Structure 1
Amino acid sequence: MGTFRAVEFDEFGAPEVLHVVERDVVEPGPGQVRIRVRAAGVNPVDWKIRSGLLAGVRETPFPYVVGGDVAGVVEAVGPDVTGYAVGDEVLAATGRGGYAEVVITDVATVAAKPAEVGWELAATLPVAANTTYAVFDEIRPVAGETIVIHGAAGGVGTVAVQIAVDLGLRVIATASEANHDYLRGLGAEPTTYGDGVVDRVRALAPDGVDLAYDVSGHGGARSLVDLVGDTDRVVTIADFEAPEYGVRFIRGIDEEKVSDRLTAAATLAAKNKLSVPIAATYPLTDAAEAHRVSAEGHVRGKLILLP
């Protein structure tokens, strides 16, 4: 059946531990599809896994292939799979294995890619959209409410702002000043993070903040609790210490909802209501460089690998 290239690592460490290997192509099992990857997204969680930062909270059996964002073409379907056929264009939140030319994933993690949505844009959506919709399931936004999205200019924040705007929320977004015009273009009201952020947000929203979503970590969840007034409608996807003071950490892994969430995001993208700038693209062999750039923390939008 041939082979395919994947980027894996056998030990935690710097980007240099990533290396390209050849793996055998295998058939998908029951409830699975095999996807020929056209584009794969790079997320901060990828280099956090590679470096060992998440070793205590996430199982990482070696050799390991990171990458939860893929877009590509179905090239085989497993037994009992309905709804997808060979040749279908899809996007998927694979959880792992995305840094490869081929990935096998459960059909529950897959959604159809609309023809209007290009490969690179499709590959920006799965992790960010699935995570954001999981967060919103927890904090239950209602049109007309005010949300603070902390660290809003990266790939997840960009998607979160646009989904929130589509839901009718007033969005206050924290980011470095260089990203403020960008966030205004997405429909948010930006302010800088760091010391004094609570006062700056209260100046923008003197009637209060209803809910908050921490994308970037760095202790920001504490300030969000001060703004909202309690922990019930504050969540984080980046601050592992936040549960110590009552803020929920969301992973977005309830698989039965993934396909519907990706479909919702892809539909918004097809209607030009959801877009993500591509900060840079890299060949699969340059995954280590993509990790270096991502870890610097100044990416606006998304980094993409092109197998």
Structure 2
Amino acid sequence: MKAIVYRATGDSSVLELADRGARDPGPGEVRVRIVVSAVNPTDWKSRRGTAPGEALPFPEVVPNQDGAGVVDAVGPGVEGLHIGDRVWVVLAAYQRADGGTAQEFTVLPAEQVFSLPESAGFDLGASLGVPAVTAHRALTIAEDGPRRLHPGALADTVVLVAGGAGAVGHAAIQLAKWAGAVVITTVSGPAKAALATAAGADHVIDYRAGDPAAEIRRIAPQGVDQIVEVAPAQNADLDLAVIRNRGSIAVYANNGGDQVSLDVRKHFSLNVRYQFVLLYTVGMPDVHAAAEDINAAIVDGALPVGETAGLPLHRFVLADTAAAHAAVEEGITGKVLIDVSAG
């Protein structure tokens, strides 16, 4: 089978097309024929490492955490998944040399493979994973909020999504709207505002124009209940200016800097909760809860992708995975997908 591998950290040129054997699944595992693989920022960051040429934990690694395809073989002890099932996968490359989705077949623990609803195509399935599960976690950490999402779960809640044109922001907007929230999002210009509006945001604010804090307070005079934050260093002052008493701020990325300075007195006077979210270490129970709710949202038609839904799709073939990684690393807006095999 064809697979993309890298043997040392570095820029996208370290990615190579190779021939590998497809192994049989062991106990508790399934083999998935990947139809569409997806590239996330975490994929190129893992590939680049902290320095070029840095040693890897394995002789070679297959990249990409997310993808969708068809179950091709089932190992002993697996229940609920069968040959021929359409599925989406998550964390495929985490702590695994040969699990990534940038290959024609991958073998994964069954607990990381989820049925894809009949109404969903493989593009949507591949676009879930890291962005959608992260968004779900960010929306379910509030002290006064729900632990699961469903229609009405976030009724009477105002959610602020920073960076609504990104993949996580897009999923957060869609899931929050499906759950009944009023959604405000901040973006960096008119083009991204159009995407966030297409995703379903009720209010879209260009943070580079005017006074975004004043505009958010005009929409939510009592403050926002929950913030899904991509750039805590840049947005700490804005978040403090708009969060309500007992509000929660879920931080899932470090765009704009690794260090955050907080006014302790002002934060504790509002009982503000900061929750940091890293999908790799949230634990499988939370991943499974998210997957169940995400699939329910898909069935309800709440998670479309594509430019008309606010998330443009950019397509590459497997042999051009290096170019796909480079596109994400350079900050392309939308979702980068790799066509691996025929659906």
- TM-score between both structures, scaled by the size of structure 1: 0.88
Secondary structure of 1:291 counterpart: helix
Deviation (angstroms), 1:172: 0.8
- The counterpart of 1:91, out of the listed 88, 92, 96, is 88
Choose 1 or 2 for highest CA Rg. 2
* Deviation at residue 232 of structure 1 after TM alignment: 6.2
2:218 aligns with one of 162, 183, 203: 203
User: Which position in structure 2 is the counterpart of 1:227?
Assistant: 242
In structure 2, C-alpha distance between the alignment counterparts of 1:76 and 1:222, rounded to whole Å: 52
- 2:277 pairs with one of 228, 250, 254: 250
Q: Please say if residues 145 and 170 of structure 1, whose CA atoms lie closer than 8 Å, have aligned partners that are also in contact.
A: yes
Unaligned runs of at least 5 residues, structure 1: none
| Alpha-carbon offset, residue 108 of structure 1 | 1.2
State the distance in 2 between where 1:297 and 1:217 align: 18
What is the CA–CA distance in structure 2 between the aligned matches of 1:146 and 1:129, rounded to whole Å? 19
1:136 deviates by 2.3
Q: For residue 297 of structure 1, what is the aligned residue in structure 2?
A: 331
Deviates more, 1:252-261 or 1:179-188: 252-261
- How far apart are residue 82 of structure 1 and its match? 0.8
Could you tell me which residue of structure 1 aligns to residue 316 of structure 2?
282
Q: CA deviation at 1:257?
A: 3.5
How far apart, CA to CA, are the structure 1 residues paired with 2:44 and 2:34?
Answer: 20
Which range moves more in the overlay, 10-19 or 233-242? 233-242
For 1:100 and 1:218, the matched residues in 2 are separated by 37
8 Å Cα contact 2:225/2:247 also seen in 1: no
**Contact in 2 for aligned 1:36/1:72 (Cα 8 Å):** yes
1:182 aligns with 2:188: no
CA spacing shift, 1:241–1:61, aligned 2, 3 Å:
farther
Give the partner amino acid of 1:294.
V
Query: Is contact 1:221–1:234 with CA below 8 Å preserved after alignment?
Result: no
CA distance in 2, matches of 1:171, 1:20: 43
- Judge conservation of contact 1:92–1:126 (CA < 8 Å) in 2: yes
Whether the 8 Å contact between 1:243 and 1:249 is mirrored in structure 2 is no
Asked whether the equivalents of residues 129 and 159 of structure 1 are also in contact (C-alpha less than 8 Å), the reply is: yes
**Residues 222 and 244 in structure 2, CA contact (< 8 A), matched pair in contact too:** no
> Relative to structure 1, is the Cα distance of residues 53 and 132 closer, same or farther in structure 2, using a 3 angstrom cutoff?
farther
What is the 5 A alignment of 1:111-260? 111-139=114-142, 140=145, 142-177=154-189, 178-188=191-201, 189-194=203-208, 196-215=211-230, 219-228=234-243, 233-239=248-254, 241=258, 247-252=274-279, 253-260=282-289
- In the alignment, structure 2 segments of 5+ residues that lack a partner are 94-99, 147-153, 263-272, 307-311
Cα–Cα, structure 1 residues 230 and 32, in superposed 2: closer, same or farther, change >3 Å? farther
TM-aligned CA deviation for residue 269 of structure 1: 2.2
Amino acid at match of 1:202: R
Q: What displacement does 1:275 show?
A: 0.9
SS at match of 1:138: coil
For residue 296 of structure 1, report the CA deviation from its aligned partner. 2.4
In the alignment, does 2:4 pair up with 1:7? yes
Q: Distance in 2 between matches of 1:204 and 1:60?
A: 49
| Contact 1:122–1:266 (Cα < 8 Å) also in 2 | no
Q: d(CA) in 1 for partners of 2:38 and 2:226?
A: 28
Report SS of the residue matched to 2:78: coil
Distance 1:41 1:221 in 2: 31
Question: CA separation in 2, counterparts of 1:202 and 1:153?
Answer: 21
Q: In the superposition, relative to structure 1, how do residues 28 and 283 fare at CA in structure 2: closer, same or farther (>3 Å)?
A: same
| Aligned mates of 1:53, 1:233 — CA distance in 2 | 31
Q: Is the 8 A contact 2:136 2:290 kept in 1?
A: yes
Q: What is the letter of the counterpart of residue 219 of structure 1?
A: Q
State the identity %. Answer: 29
Structure-2 separation of matches of 1:42 and 1:231: 36
Contact 1:155–1:276 (CA under 8 A) maintained in structure 2: no
Pairwise CA RMSD of aligned residues? 2.6
Kept in 1, the 8 Å contact 2:139–2:226? The answer is: no
> Per the alignment, do residues 30 and 184 of structure 1 end up closer, same or farther by CA in structure 2, a change over 3 Å counting?
same
Task: State whether structure 2 residue 26 is matched by structure 1 residue 29.
Answer: yes
1:69 matched to which residue of 2?
A: 66
Q: Is the 8 A contact 2:35 2:70 kept in 1?
A: yes
**Higher deviation after alignment, 123-132 or 31-40:** 123-132
What number of residue pairs does the alignment pair up?
Answer: 300
CA contact (8 A) 1:110 1:259 kept: no
